[in-house]
Amino acid sequence: MIFLDRPGYNAIIKLLPDFEKRTGIKIKYQIVPYENTREKEELDFSSNGELTVALVDLVWIGEFAEAGWIVPFEEIKKKYPDIIDPNFDINDFIPLILNAFGTWQGKVYGPPFDNYSGLLYYNKDMLKEAGFDKPPETWDELINTYAPKLTKNSKYAFALQSRRGETQSCDSFMRFLWPWGGSLLDAKFHSNLGNPKSQEGLNFRQSLEKYMPPGIVDYDHSDAVNALAQGNVAMITEWSAFYSTLVDPKSSKIVDKLGVAPEPKGPDGRKPALGGFSLAVASQANDKQKAAAWLFIQWATGKEIGKQYVEAGGISGRQSTYKDPALLAKYPFIQPMLDSWQQGVPEYRPRFSEWSKLTDIIAEWGTKMMLNQVSVKQGSDEIGTRTEAVLKDAGYYDGKKPLAQ
């Protein structure tokens, strides 16, 4: 199977020997950068390669499921009834993330494994100096009250990772649609960017830009996290997984000044960025491998190792894991993350297979917007027409494909 070089995977690698000793199953894994993961898995699946466990990013689930590359949970249950752990309890997973990461068109494919929510990280000292003793509750507050006071002497109030790529489309562009009540697509899958609410969100992003460091369109995750860690910006909205980077004295100067809160609310509520990976059994595996793959998945997302997994740096998707008050006290990011998961939207990014085309369109025109090469209106129109062309080709408008995202 494929792992990424992220805390959740390092955590499971740490725990692996125990699993291998107990079951005698040997897990062979390869660590791949995120940007190449999908390409690698697709090449493997389409050529009947050797992957037995699929690592499924929430935006790939539609594609993988439709291509028939992953096996639904129901089928596994039917085929191997005696290896399903009676304690597995699929309903123990937080409903939003099970629905978003592991479910496509009502069918569960696999349990969520590496789970993220967008969070607001802030520098307590910088906020205090500017006269604030708590983080902003709404985006409106952030831009009108907090940002002007926090931007001075080459320090900036906010950094928004916006580099061209998934970073732009997911972390920057989409983040400013949902909380304003906007969205990429309407119910009939036509572009909804022309909607005044979507426009309001995108315009908000433009006006927030003056409180961000120059060159923000080239900021990737690591740049934004660094900017906060080095004390150059006061607030960022980043994935929960970066908590461990920000509290590591080797990479952060603000270990004891770090504050974590849920993302600010927009006019339409919180609706924070949502992302994560589920694990599913690959259809190309033989029967024996399939059973072994399921045993691994069941163990890796199971109740027993939930706490160990969190302590090793992972983020469990199980409600039962977080019943332990000691754990919540030790990791202050967990509570805001659980709060975020109460209100997120599963289709924060559409999860159909056409997303891989849409993300490139949004990445291109979204950065052009931020550079003021095109106006927000022009950019939205361009994204809109191109998106509709892609979706028309795919057959969403003539009923060939169900409107599922």
Partner 1 sequence: MRKSGRALRTRSEARLSGKGKLMPIRAVPRKTYSNGVIFFLAPAVIVLLAVGIFPLLFAVWNSMHEFILSRARIYALHGQPFLWFQNYLGLVNDAGFRESLFRTFVFLLINLPIQLVLGLLIALLLHKVGHEWLKNICRVSLVIPLATTLAVVGLMGRLMFNSSFGVVNYAVATVISLFHSIGPLLQGHFQVLHGFWRHVVPSNMIDWLGNPNLAFATVSIMDCWQWTPFCALVLLSSLTLVPPEIEEAAKLETDRWWQVLWRVQLPFMLPGITAILILRTADILKMFDVVYTMTQGGPGNATDLISVYVQRVGFRQVDQGVASAQAIVLLIITIILSRIYIRYFYREI
Pick one of 10, 32, 66, 84: the residue that binds partner 1 (CB under 8 A): 66
Which window, 13-21, 183-191, 327-335, 363-371, contacts partner 1 (CB under 8 A)? 363-371
For residue 312, CA distances in Å to 12, 103, 305 come to 8, 27, 10
Pick one of 18, 39, 85, 186: the residue that binds partner 1 (CB under 8 A): 39
Token pair for 91: 């309903």
Site for partner 1 in 100-129 (CB under 8 A): none
> Applying CB under 8 A, does 382 fall inside the site for partner 1?
no
> Applying CB under 8 A, does 363 fall inside the site for partner 1?
yes
> Applying CB under 8 A, does 37 fall inside the site for partner 1?
no
Between CA 298 and CA 314 the distance in angstroms is 16
> Applying CB under 8 A, does 360 fall inside the site for partner 1?
yes
> Applying CB under 8 A, does 350 fall inside the site for partner 1?
no
Pick one of 30, 91, 153, 154: the residue that binds partner 1 (CB under 8 A): 154
Pairing of strands 103-104, 112-123: unpaired
Token pair for 241: 């997984």
Least distance (Å) between residue 65 CB and partner 1: 11
Which window, 64-72, 80-88, 140-148, 199-207, contacts partner 1 (CB under 8 A)? 64-72
Least distance (Å) between residue 289 CB and partner 1: 18
Comparison of 178 and 352: residue with beta carbon closer to partner 1: 352
Comparison of 75 and 364: residue with beta carbon closer to partner 1: 364
> Applying CB under 8 A, does 218 fall inside the site for partner 1?
yes
Token pair for 289: 């491998």
Dihedral sign from CA coordinates of 46, 50, 53, 58: negative
Between CA 364 and CA 164 the distance in angstroms is 7
C-beta separation of 80 from 291 below 8 A: yes
Residue 23 CB coordination number (10 Å): 13
> Applying CB under 8 A, does 371 fall inside the site for partner 1?
yes
**Residue 336 burial (10 A CB sphere; 0-12, 13-18, 19+):** buried
C-beta separation of 277 from 112 below 8 A: yes
Token pair for 380: 């939205």
C-beta separation of 2 from 55 below 8 A: yes
Query: Which spans of this chain sit near partner 1 (rule: CB under 8 A)?
Result: 38-39, 42-43, 45-46, 63, 66-69, 154, 163-165, 168, 213-218, 223, 227, 230, 232, 353, 356-357, 360, 363-364, 367-368, 370-371, 373
